[in-house]
Copies of this chain bind each other. A is one copy, B any other.
């Protein structure tokens, strides 16, 4: 049996923590499993290296930035292999390139093209645990590239797929995937499993445990992904498994509630309702590289329409710059900007086969006196935008309304 484990920057952030990880890995290797471990850079290493780069060059070239960043994971992989050696567990550290992670040449956010596992297989045959520097790969030119956000998780899932691992285990500083953020709702419950699709929706709606990219890859290769705490005892049954298919739960089909605070909205009021209007608005935004999230268009009166869309806070200023003159050109009555909103989303694959979830959501919020500014839905999600100062309360109201604190 082959297993791929991944430990994040916090889990390998000190010598003591590295030793803790080494113990966990060694206990699996002793059980006779072939273990590949993917590690992130220690603690704040990546930030420190980036700050150093910007000290030297305010706009550091991407190719050299990637070479610089890649050293962070090389250091932690070498140290973890050493710590394993100290426990008498034979281990080798491999860079992304040595582990056969081949990518395209998009520095800073490369995509994995394929993995050539010969070296890892060779090390497994020699009885070694393999520690792989995450977040990195090798371009066709032979250059160091980094995989961008969610990179180490993606490395782990891709290696899991290439090695036909039984499971990929992502160890992090949370216990798993919760019914909602436990910092908001202390009654939140850690889920035993979740469907990859639900996880993707949750990640896109602000649940930060795993980057969607790694989840997508797991879905594509039907690779179960365990998300668990790097502190919890192994075999304690803790953590959440992300699977392609999850047994439907008959009683309760809302699985998790996500809160996304990174929202800013733009409303064009009384835009003439004629064909092509949406393209005129969203074309220039797309050209500027601004990713538009929710779009809602309401029929208004006298063939005029109200059009609202949301963007992330990062894109907020440029969105204002672009949409203000645009509103004038389009003959809108006025344009409203609102940064004081959050998105609350119910997520669950079971919701598509059962009615009444939306009604319960709206009623519960209404009973709590929380006004809904905007509603959007997907097949497995219902999202309401509410005032930012009511966001946490909305999460708690819904968590209770859908009885997510109850074991099912």
User: A residues touching B (Cβ–Cβ < 8 Å)?
Assistant: 15, 18-19, 49, 52-53, 55-58, 60-61, 63-65, 67-68, 70-71, 74-75, 77-79, 81-83, 85-86, 92-93, 95, 98, 119, 142-144
Decide yes or no: A53 and B82 within 8 Å by CB, A92-B63, A143-B98 being known contacts: yes
For A49, the chain B residues whose CB sits under 8 A away are 75
**Could you tell me if B56 and A83 are in contact, using CB atoms closer than 8 angstroms?**
yes
Query: What are the 4 closest A-B residue pairs judged by CB atoms, nearest first?
Result: A68-B78, A57-B86, A71-B71, A57-B82
**Could you tell me if A79 and B92 are in contact, using CB atoms closer than 8 angstroms?**
no
Chain B nearest CB: distance from A179 CB in Å? Answer: 38
For A93, the chain B residues whose CB sits under 8 A away are 63-64, 67
**Could you tell me if B52 and A64 are in contact, using CB atoms closer than 8 angstroms?**
no
Partner of A119, one of B64, B67, B70, B142: B142
Partner of A52, one of B56, B79, B95: B79
Partner of A61, one of B60, B81, B119: B81
For A67, the chain B residues whose CB sits under 8 A away are 74, 77-78, 93, 95
For A92, the chain B residues whose CB sits under 8 A away are 63-64
For A56, the chain B residues whose CB sits under 8 A away are 15, 18-19, 79, 82-83, 86
> How far is A174 from B56 in the complex, measured between Cα atoms in Å?
25
> How far is A56 from B52 in the complex, measured between Cα atoms in Å?
26
24 residue pairs of the A-B complex, CB under 8 angstroms, read A15-B52, A15-B55, A18-B56, A19-B56, A49-B75, A57-B83, A57-B86, A60-B82, A61-B82, A61-B85, A63-B92, A64-B78, A64-B82, A64-B85, A64-B92, A65-B82, A67-B74, A67-B77, A67-B78, A67-B95, A68-B74, A71-B74, A95-B144, A98-B143
User: Residue on B with the closest CB to A63?
Assistant: B92
User: Residue on B with the closest CB to A81?
Assistant: B64
For A64, the chain B residues whose CB sits under 8 A away are 78-79, 81-82, 85, 92-93
> How far is A142 from B58 in the complex, measured between Cα atoms in Å?
34
> How far is A86 from B81 in the complex, measured between Cα atoms in Å?
37
Interface-centre pick from A57, A58, A81 (highest chain B CB count, 10 A): A57
For A79, the chain B residues whose CB sits under 8 A away are 52-53, 56, 64, 68
Chain B nearest CB: distance from A116 CB in Å? Answer: 12
> How far is A296 from B74 in the complex, measured between Cα atoms in Å?
50
> How far is A93 from B142 in the complex, measured between Cα atoms in Å?
12
Partner of A60, one of B15, B57, B85, B144: B85
Given contacts A60-B82, A65-B82, A68-B82, 20 further A-B contacts (CB under 8 A): A15-B56, A18-B56, A19-B56, A56-B86, A57-B82, A58-B86, A61-B82, A63-B93, A64-B81, A64-B85, A65-B78, A67-B77, A67-B93, A67-B95, A68-B74, A68-B78, A71-B71, A71-B74, A74-B74, A98-B143
